[in-house]
Structure 1
Amino acid sequence: MGKKSDVDPVLHLVGGAVAGAASCVLLQPLDLIKTRLQQDIYQRKTLGDLSTKGARALSELTIWTTFRKTVQNEGAWGLWRGTVPTIFRNVPGSALYFMTLDQMRTGLRKVNMVTANHGIMKINEGTVNLIGGAAARGGVGFLLMPLMIIKVRYESNLYSYSSMWEATRSIMKEGGIRAFFYGFGATALRDAPYAGLYVFFYEKSKELLHCETLIVDGLAA
């Protein structure tokens, strides 16, 4: 594979930040509905109501009913509750992820060049993408885990926090600094492999599409 073009890390940082902000604003309603639906289902199951009425109420919990309930109780703007903490997490998260991913892959390619000069087996480009994507997501995820905890708590209607600061103080009071990292292990096990595979298949798809384009152009010539 040929040498990759060098791109200023700042461009990855800015591009990631803009993409993160846009996705936050556009998709926050879906994120909020997911959080509310999951917590409602968990509550109903925890209460252990096995009656016919309880089972029917559980079956009626859907994306649509959660959406309608949120709008009825909080208005249309209620769908964007939690946008600010989401932005605080996703904008720097996306920016750092794309910059870290670029630096990780650049570093792994340099290691390949050094090992090749010493006759040591080098890792292929697919493995570079796999490791780079997973490591970047795991590292950035750890740094931003506290913001994820605050975001989920703030979106939830179980706590009804009036501000992010109130949510932060409540979490700190409950479990100290460690409370801001609860669930990181499970999150990393989900996000790191996902990110590694995502980058791997993304780059492979580009290669395949590029080959297909060359073939089509060659036939058309």
Structure 2
Amino acid sequence: MELSLVHPALKAFMCGSLSGTCSTLLFQPLDLLKTRLQTHPGSSRVGMVTVLLTVVRTEKLLGLWKGVSPSCVRTIPGVGVYFSSYYSLKQRCLGPRPPGPLEALLLGAGARCLAGTITLPLTLVKTRYESGRYNYSSVAGALRSVCVLEGPRALFSGLTATLLRDAPFSGLYLLFYTQTRRALPQEVACSPCAPLAGVCCGVLAGVLASLLTQPADVLKTLVQVRPHSSTAAAARRLYLEQGLSGFFRGGVPRCLRRTMIAAMAWTVYEHMMSHMGLKS
């Protein structure tokens, strides 16, 4: 099939899937460290370096990539759905003009709600793989096990916390990213350094969005690792056990990972879309 005959939304899907897959493979160890920190007994006294050394010592270096299979299975459709939804919504609502601050916030949040809901069962499996508490043999086997032992509804455990995390993150990220990109001087935006400038804008946007949504990420992890737990119950338990600081556990590796993944994904996506003759 000639690329010129492919629907623009499908092109956006392909660009998003490729960019997301590359970044997921590269930064999976940070996601694993984040999950282990958030689910470690007495986690308020354990740091990222300690968890890193423990994983390498007990599970070897490749142990840092535990959960990469469900991560990739989730990412290929998930990031693709996100970027194709974003592109379709933007073209339908705004046309060729760039989004304003509020429009960027709503576009990012809307696209992420759709993608996050569709891929939630795979997110659940990925989180459990990374926690080290479950010995699933495969992604398909994990999905079957959850359905049989906990019921089909359990596949969507943590939906509330996931949307409370992902929708604001994507909305805030897109808001910060688009506005910082627009603030770049014209000579920088049109220079050979434009991709690097785009990455820097992505890093700044990722740091800000990650910090603001970290509590929801902690709750999402706890709900998915502990079956039959609600978001409100997880929040109460976490506050009683660790105080307010518990809501920011795993913030450093998550901030690093989400920042670098988002920056890389958007940079690759925009570069590929421009080569296909489409404005992202």
TM-score, with structure 2 as normaliser: 0.59
- Bigger drift between 160-169 and 21-30 goes to 160-169
Of residues 109, 121, 125 in structure 2, which corresponds to 1:150? 125
Q: How far does residue 162 in structure 1 lie from its aligned partner after superposition?
A: 2.6
CA distance in 2, matches of 1:186, 1:193: 11
Partner of 1:186: 161
Q: How far does residue 80 in structure 1 lie from its aligned partner after superposition?
A: 0.8
Cα RMSD of the aligned pairs, angstroms, is 2.3
Q: How far does residue 15 in structure 1 lie from its aligned partner after superposition?
A: 1.4
Of residues 86, 91, 109 in structure 1, which corresponds to 2:94? 109
Q: In the comparison of the two structures, how many residue pairs are matched?
A: 181
Between the two proteins, what is the percent identity of the paired residues?
A: 37
Partner of 2:13: 13
Residue 19 of structure 1 aligns to which amino acid in structure 2?
S
Q: How far does residue 22 in structure 1 lie from its aligned partner after superposition?
A: 0.9
Q: 1:206 to 1:78 in 2, by over 3 A?
A: same
Match status 1:95 vs 2:93? no
Residue 148 of structure 2 aligns to which amino acid in structure 1?
K
Asked if the contact 1:154/1:164 (under 8 Å) is kept, the reply is no
Q: How far does residue 170 in structure 1 lie from its aligned partner after superposition?
A: 2.3
TM-score, with structure 1 as normaliser: 0.74
Asked if the contact 2:104/2:174 (under 8 Å) is kept, the reply is yes
Gaps of 5+ in 2: 1-6, 190-280
Aligned to 1:209, what secondary structure does the other structure show? Answer: coil
Asked if the contact 2:121/2:143 (under 8 Å) is kept, the reply is no
Q: 1:213 to 1:159 in 2, by over 3 A?
A: closer
Q: How far does residue 128 in structure 1 lie from its aligned partner after superposition?
A: 2.4
Partner of 2:116: 141
From the CA coordinates, give the structure whose radius of gyration is larger: 1
- Bigger drift between 88-97 and 156-165 goes to 156-165
Gaps of 5+ in 1: 1-6, 46-57, 111-123, 215-221
Q: How far does residue 210 in structure 1 lie from its aligned partner after superposition?
A: 4.2
Partner of 2:42: 44
CA distance in 2, matches of 1:163, 1:100: 29
Asked if the contact 1:81/1:155 (under 8 Å) is kept, the reply is yes
List per-residue Cα deviations over 1:50-96 (Å, max 9, x = no partner).
Answer: xxxxxxxx62x221111111111111111111111000111211111
Match status 1:81 vs 2:66? yes
CA distance in 2, matches of 1:211, 1:197: 24
CA distance in 1, matches of 2:164, 2:115: 14
Residue 195 of structure 1 aligns to which amino acid in structure 2?
S
CA distance in 2, matches of 1:64, 1:199: 31
CA distance in 1, matches of 2:171, 2:134: 35
Runs of 4+ off more than 3 Å: 210-214
CA distance in 2, matches of 1:146, 1:21: 18
CA distance in 1, matches of 2:123, 2:29: 16
Partner of 2:149: 174
Partner of 1:217: none
Residue 44 of structure 1 aligns to which amino acid in structure 2?
G
